[in-house]
Amino acid sequence: MKKEIKAYFTKHPSTKIKPRELAKKLNAREEHLYEKMKVVLFGLYKEKFLDREGKRYFLYSDNKQKNFTGIVQIIDEGKYGFVVLNNSNIKDVFVAERNLGTALNGDHVEVELFDKHSGKNREGRIVKVIERKYKEVVGKLIKSNSTSFVIPDQPDFHRDIYIAKNNLKGAKNGDKVLVGDIVWNDRSTNPEGVIKDKFGKAGSYEAELMNVAREFNLNYKFPPKVISQANKTSADINQEEIKNRLDLRKKVLFTIDPEDAKDYDDAVSVEELKNGNLSIGIHIADVAHYVEEGSPIYKEAYKRANSVYLVGSVIPMLPEKLSNNICSLVPNEDRLTFSVIVEMTKRAKIVGYKISKSIINSKRRFTYNEVQEILENKSGDFFDELNLLNQIAVKLRDKRMKVGSINFHTPEVNFTLDDKGVPIDIRIKEVKDSHKLVEEFMLLANQIVAKHMSGSKKVVSPMVYRVHDLPDEEKLKEFASFVKSLGYSFNPGAANNSKEFQRLLSEVEGKEDDALINEVAIRSMAKAVYSSDNIGHYGLGFKYYTHFTSPIRRFPDLIVHKLLFNNLSGNQPGYNKNQLENMCEHCSAQERNAINAERLSIKLKQIEYLKNKIDEEFTAVISGITNFGIFVELRETLSEGLIRLRDIKDDYYLFDEKQYAIVGSETGKRYRLGDKIEVKLIRVDESKREIDFTLLN
């Protein structure tokens, strides 16, 4: 509603209107919507987006005001910038290089507007840096006899940092270092800083790992208190604990994970019952048993919120003794678990379920490839169980699709690294039946737990849900326009958008546009987040959904375990709704941060892989188009780079925004989003994290 109100007043800047009249315009006549609208109007008035006379609201005019605050966006390595103002109707303020002062990209600044302006944007000068975006910077130390500088890795920190001799702290030339206490008061000189940490030689695997961790403020070392507590944690299970649990140690259970997995937090089992139905077990590591609320391990796990998987390494949520040992469901060892045991028919219809703390002893550790080989060869360890599970997984997936679950499939890459962490090969991961098998049963357990917690008692328990909101209408229209430019159809007004997405994604599956359309479809969606309010999961088509199956690597799963156990035991929840909502917001933010760190880790390894392949030729797909060039994604490695328009010599090309294309002004030759093209690698700039290609005829 806030967005609609702002859009209305922006479109009608001279309008003065009463709330009742506005309600008619925005189709908010129902009393509860009208009351909500009045609250939003008053909020916009307090924010100085709106002003009012009597009962009439109108657009706030701040033309008399000279100084504003906002976030500065520095363009082209400091040649100019724009300040995006806080709570203002004025468009972004243009700032010429001479007026940037000592502002750096992303800084919170105060800008003074000039009286005269030309073009679309007001012009101004930055008079004060209120808060720096970067408190610390990672970079490479360049040291000589007379001076020492750190060249920052962050591309948007566009000045080298001077380091005085007494602030070198033993760092050597070429080291990757962390710089803090950065001061920059005069644009005619460089910023100055102090070296806070050393990560070894720039380019080394350890240094680059620490670089990514620092850039995203990830804790890659556990505090001494956490390590101490982990070391004191015993793997011994006493008999009293076993008595209070469902003993499944004689049952056939096994884990299925990637080849390089170090922690195994889920196991599965299946057996046929006397009535002909199946009993399928999803058994999850009982991390909550070892991580008490308020303990050092708990506090650190909450701070991290999730494990972060960088190329060739992991920054775990829990110390290694817990994540890779005590909690990990390693084969032939007794382990404490939380089990969801589902009775279902052979047509995958759920008859009933049981949720209980348990103890298991895994009979086998499978990799995805091993399971796939057994399924294809129809023989091998536990073939009967694996085959039965796979048949049920297929049926569960078919049912999901029928109720509107969207089958996104975005390709991922797998790196082969040498012993120094240097990438020697990149391959696109294959998604096989073995992957889908595990996924379906994890989805099933998550659904059952969420539904149980939503309706198992007269008073609904506080709960952490994994929710996914409906897509924004404008984004759906943009997506429809995009796929139309590629020759496909998508009806943004369809009564069931998820079915429309399903139809389109099925149509493009296996075609050249497949990966691109999947990626853009995902971008058009809302982001899945954690919430204490259940609004369902649009993408999966589930009314109830949570995260329960990965407590070793996700903090929300750990909390769901605690909430679920209290529910089953008849105890108080342990957390109130406000506490849970704060946790949800924090964990959602940390998840986004981890995703960005993982993406950068992949990009840096792709750059490292390509830097020795200058002048080599590749097949690529156009993944983005701008007024300065076209972005391309290599088919074999998914590495993304740019073809600058200035590097295309056969014509002068113009950007056609509506058609998602560039068009030659003389020849009329057209390059569209999604086109398959041949390219040559011409530049790799590791410091700027840029890859440049040129077109081949």
**Does residue 519 lie within any of the structural domains?**
yes
Q: How crowded is residue 365: how many other Cβ atoms within 10 Å of its Cβ?
A: 18
Q: Are 127 and 70 in contact (CB under 8 A)?
A: no
**Does residue 214 lie within any of the structural domains?**
no
Angle, alpha carbons 82-88-89 (nearest 5°): 95
Beta-bridge partners for 342:
280, 353
**Does residue 219 lie within any of the structural domains?**
no
CA–CA gap between residue 642 and residue 625 (Å, rounded): 9
Q: In this structure, which amino acid lies at residue 199?
A: F
**Does residue 218 lie within any of the structural domains?**
no
Beta-bridge partners for 175:
201
Domain count, the chain: 6
CA–CA gap between residue 394 and residue 254 (Å, rounded): 19
Same domain, 121 and 149: no
Same domain, 120 and 8: no
CA–CA gap between residue 552 and residue 264 (Å, rounded): 8
CA–CA gap between residue 223 and residue 664 (Å, rounded): 59
423-428/640-644 β-pairing: unpaired
Same domain, 617 and 684: yes
CA–CA gap between residue 689 and residue 325 (Å, rounded): 37
pLDDT < 50 regions, the chain? none
* 146-173 CB burial, b ≥16 within 10 A, e <16: eebbbebbbeebebebbbeeebbeebee
SS (H, E, C) 482-503: HHHHCCCCCCCCCCCHHHHHHH
Could you give phi then psi for residue 403, rounded to 5 degrees?
A: -90, 0
**Does residue 636 lie within any of the structural domains?**
yes
Beta-bridge partners for 205:
none
Question: Structure tokens of 173?
Answer: 């030339």
Tracing tokens 């098998």 back to the chain, one arrives at 437
Rounded to 10 degrees, what is the CA torsion of 465, 362, 251, 398? 50
Q: Are 69 and 38 in contact (CB under 8 A)?
A: no
**Does residue 213 lie within any of the structural domains?**
no
Condensed to tens digits (0 to 9), the pLDDT of residues 462-502 reads 899 999 998 888 888 888 988 888 889 998 887 677 888 88
Could you give phi then psi for residue 677, rounded to 5 degrees?
A: -140, 165
CA distances to 292, 611, 622, 648, 683 from 615, rounded to whole Å, are: 57, 10, 19, 15, 9
Same domain, 270 and 252: yes
CA–CA gap between residue 448 and residue 549 (Å, rounded): 11
Q: How crowded is residue 670: how many other Cβ atoms within 10 Å of its Cβ?
A: 13
Q: Are 126 and 104 in contact (CB under 8 A)?
A: no
Q: Are 303 and 289 in contact (CB under 8 A)?
A: no
Q: How crowded is residue 470: how many other Cβ atoms within 10 Å of its Cβ?
A: 13
Name the residue among 524, 514, 438, 428 with its Cα closest to residue 479: 524
Q: What is the C-alpha R_g of the chain? A: 28
CA–CA gap between residue 161 and residue 533 (Å, rounded): 47
pTM of the model: 0.79
CA–centroid distance for 45 within its chain:
34
161-163/192-201 β-pairing: parallel
Same domain, 325 and 378: yes
Name the residue among 392, 344, 360 with its Cα closest to residue 251: 360
**Does residue 440 lie within any of the structural domains?**
yes
What is residue 130's three-state secondary structure? strand
The DSSP H or E segment spanning 303 is helix 296-304
175-183/254-257 β-pairing: unpaired
Q: The CATH number of the domain where 124 resides is what?
A: 2.40.50.690
Same domain, 342 and 271: yes
Could you give phi then psi for residue 73, rounded to 5 degrees?
A: -115, 110
Report which DSSP code applies to 278. Answer: E
CA–CA gap between residue 566 and residue 577 (Å, rounded): 15
Question: Structure tokens of 680?
Answer: 């040559």
CA–CA gap between residue 421 and residue 91 (Å, rounded): 46
The number of CA neighbours under 13 Å toward the Cβ of 580 is: 23
Beta-bridge partners for 467:
529
Helices then strands, counting H and E runs in the chain, come out as 16, 33
CA–centroid distance for 72 within its chain:
24
Return the beta strands (E) in 233-333 as ranges.
246-247, 254-257, 266-272, 278-285, 308-310, 313-315
Same domain, 305 and 379: yes
Residue after which a domain boundary falls, among 131, 146, 178? 131
What domain range includes position 374?
224-393+413-467+535-597
Name the residue among 558, 574, 555 with its Cα closest to residue 566: 574
Same domain, 126 and 143: no
Name the residue among 95, 117, 92 with its Cα closest to residue 104: 95
Q: Are 256 and 434 in contact (CB under 8 A)?
A: yes
Q: The CATH number of the domain where 677 resides is what?
A: 2.40.50.140
CA–CA gap between residue 13 and residue 230 (Å, rounded): 61
CA–CA gap between residue 595 and residue 592 (Å, rounded): 5
Same domain, 141 and 127: no
CA–CA gap between residue 42 and residue 683 (Å, rounded): 54
Could you give phi then psi for residue 370, rounded to 5 degrees?
A: -65, -45
Question: Structure tokens of 201?
Answer: 């030689």
Residue after which a domain boundary falls, among 75, 106, 131? 131
CA–CA gap between residue 377 and residue 371 (Å, rounded): 10
CA–CA gap between residue 409 and residue 411 (Å, rounded): 6
End-to-end CA distance of the chain: 51
| pLDDT value at residue 457 | 53
**Does residue 402 lie within any of the structural domains?**
no
Residue after which a domain boundary falls, among 99, 131, 163? 131
The number of CA neighbours under 13 Å toward the Cβ of 164 is: 10
463 burial (CB, 10 Å; 0-12 / 13-18 / 19+) is: buried
Beta-bridge partners for 70:
85, 109
Same domain, 99 and 28: no
Q: Are 690 and 644 in contact (CB under 8 A)?
A: no
Same domain, 545 and 684: no
Same domain, 539 and 686: no
